[in-house]
Amino acid sequence: MVEAIRLLTDAVKTERVPGIVEFRLLERALEEVARNPTTTLLAHASAAFRALDRDHQILVMKRAETMAHRSADLRRMTNFTLEGAHPRPPHRAPKPKQAASPFLSALNGPPHRERSGA
């Protein structure tokens, strides 16, 4: 979770608009959660995210999604064993089907599409 919080913090820093205080409040709240991940601080960060207008929330969510994909691609490219440099499958934790809020959507990243049929 801490990695996701840091990634979201980086997305907020990248998309921050000078003069909009809510960006700085969200950045500080996320940094607090990264240092001390408690339910109370996570709720505070979620409230700070909801304080952004919807357009800025979407920008941050898209930036976080892009950054998560790049990070996963980089890990996939460098995830080799020492014996013959064969790629190892990346470990993936199960993700919830649908997030309860835009904040959790930004934190959890895009939903994975399930394949039907064989």
**pLDDT value at position 59?**
94
Distances (CA, A) of 50 to 100, 108, 117: 13, 16, 39
Q: For 73-108, what is each residue's pLDDT tens digit?
A: 777 776 554 444 555 555 565 555 555 677 777 777
What's the residue count for the chain? 118
Pull the structure tokens for residue 52.
Answer: 């952004």
What is the pLDDT averaged over residues 30-46? 93
Q: For 109-118, what is each residue's pLDDT tens digit?
A: 665 555 444 4
> Which of 90, 94, 95 is CA-nearest to residue 75?
90
Pull the structure tokens for residue 62.
Answer: 């898209």
- What is the identity of the amino acid at 65? E
- Structural domain boundaries in the chain: 2-79+96-106
> Which of 38, 94, 30 is CA-nearest to residue 60?
30
As a whole-number percent, the residues of the chain with pLDDT over 90 amount to 50
Burial class (CB in 10 A: 0-12, 13-18, 19+), 53: exposed
0.85 cut: is pTM over it? no
